[in-house]
Amino acid sequence: MGCQFIREECYARVRGQAAPRTGAGRLANGKRMLGKLAARQVIAEAIREQGAAPHVDSPKPPTLLFGMAAEDLALWWEQVEDMSKNVTVSTVKGERKQRSDTPILLGAVASYPGPADESDPLYVEWRGRTVAWLKDHYKGTLVTVMEHTDESYGHIHALCCDAGRSIKSLHAGFSAASKVEGKKEKSDAYKIAERALQDDYSKNVGVESGLARIGPKRRRLTRSAWRAEQQSNTSLALATTHARCVINDAETKAAEIIAAASAVELDREKVEQSRRNILMSQNRLIEASGMLRIKDDEIRKKAASVTAAGENRKQLENENRLLKKRIDALTSVVLAMQENLAPDDPVSPLKQMIFQKPK
């Protein structure tokens, strides 16, 4: 295994007029490109537009690891450039439009000292940790993270943007340099900040992936010492990765056991609750049965009372009919007696009152 590699760089809408690039930017004839690439060219190379990556023999579409897809970046960047043209900045002479050579895109590249091999556990570990580091470091300005698998070394491209405004504050070196005065002081602040970025990346990604922070030449190591260190770093990283996998498996199984135990306990509680509900239902049924018996007795008593009342009523009706018949008979007798008496017969006033017909 080798040493880590990560760098960050800022790009403007227009191409820079700096010295010839020392990086991978070469023309089809092998000559180096002059000046820094414009932001749109960086995006074209990252998404593998036709002719934008002449240094790659057989370009392949990048693999999206986070954020915006490659096919959407070109249109997105047109919108960002339009926004950047309307950005104003404050100067000693007042407000003015943002310059076209203001850096508005930050590109970060992290490279792995080996091919992009899914069967390599250290590569997979490095890739996952790198994406996590990029998301944590650049936060909300991180637009996309893409993986390139068409070169000898697997590597990751990240693009950051702040809605067309200057992106220098996101660059560790430029941000530190802007806070001090003096050419030397700015240079020193820039270097210190970039070393700190490399240290942070090494701590969170490199060490865990078996990558050295600094190469052998800077430390004046012999080839044998360097190879021994590489082997040691690789072995340590593999052992760490394996141990982490074992720990993760153990934690997963422990979580499954806890979940199963919780489910059993929950089932036990459900069974106990069901048993309590059944007992409550049984008690309510017993109470309802008792109340039903009481109601039944009351109904029976009321029915008996109604029956007795009915019998009394019938008896009274019979007696009433008999009494009516007797009254009718007596009335007939009285009427007959009245008819047999002469009007001028001397009778007592009482008899006249009795035999007087009703008006």
Q: How many domains does the chain have?
A: 1
How far apart CA 36 and CA 21 sit, in angstroms, is 7
Least confident of 48-57, 97-106, 347-356: 347-356
38 part of a folded domain: yes
Beta strands in the chain (DSSP E): 5-11, 63-67, 88-91, 94-97, 105-111, 142-148, 155-161
Query: 26, 170, 196: which is closest to 108 by C-alpha?
Result: 170
Q: CATH number, domain at 80? A: 3.30.930
Q: What is the rounded CA–CA span in Å between residue 287 and residue 296?
A: 14
The per-residue b/e assignment along 326-339, b for 16 or more CB within 10 angstroms, e otherwise, is: eeeeeeeeeeeeee
- Total-model pTM: 0.59
What is the pLDDT, as a whole number, of residue 354?
53
Instruction: Report the DSSP pairing between strands 88-91 and 63-67.
Output: unpaired
Mean pLDDT score of the chain, rounded to an integer? 80
| N-term to C-term CA, the chain | 142
**Structural domain contains residue 185:** yes
| Residue 312 covered by a domain | no
- Phi, psi (degrees; rounded to nearest 5) at 321: -65, -45
Q: What is the mean pLDDT of residues 204-224?
A: 70
Instruction: Confirm whether 107 is domain-assigned.
Output: yes
List of residues 6+ apart from 6 with CB closer than 8 A:
108, 109, 110, 111, 130, 197, 198, 201
Contact 141, 160 (CB under 8 A): yes
CA–chain centroid gap for 105, Å, is: 30
Q: Are 45 and 38 in contact (CB under 8 A)?
A: no
In a domain, 178, yes or no: yes
Would you say residue 359 lies in a domain?
A: no
Whether 179 has a pLDDT exceeding 70, the answer reads: yes
The pLDDT score that the predictor gives to residue 227 is 58
264 versus 206: the higher-pLDDT residue is 206
Confidence grade of residue 4 (pLDDT, cut at 50, 70, 90): confident
Q: Report the pLDDT value the prediction gives residue 111, as an integer from 0 to 100.
A: 92
In a domain, 113, yes or no: yes
Q: Rounded CA gap, 126 and 116, in Å?
A: 10
Could you read off the pLDDT of 137-175 as tens digits, one per residue?
999 999 999 999 999 999 999 999 999 999 999 999 999
Judge whether 204 lies within some domain.
yes
CB burial class (10 A; 0-12, 13-18, 19+) of residue 188?
Answer: middle
* Percent of residues, the chain, with pLDDT higher than 70: 75
- Which uninterrupted H or E stretch holds 227? helix 223-340
**Which residue in 100, 133, 128, 121 sits closest to 16, CA to CA?**
100
| Domain boundaries, position 42 | 5-89+96-214
* Residue 260 CA to its chain's centroid (Å): 25
Among 222, 223, 203, 221, which residue's Cα sits nearest to residue 213? 203
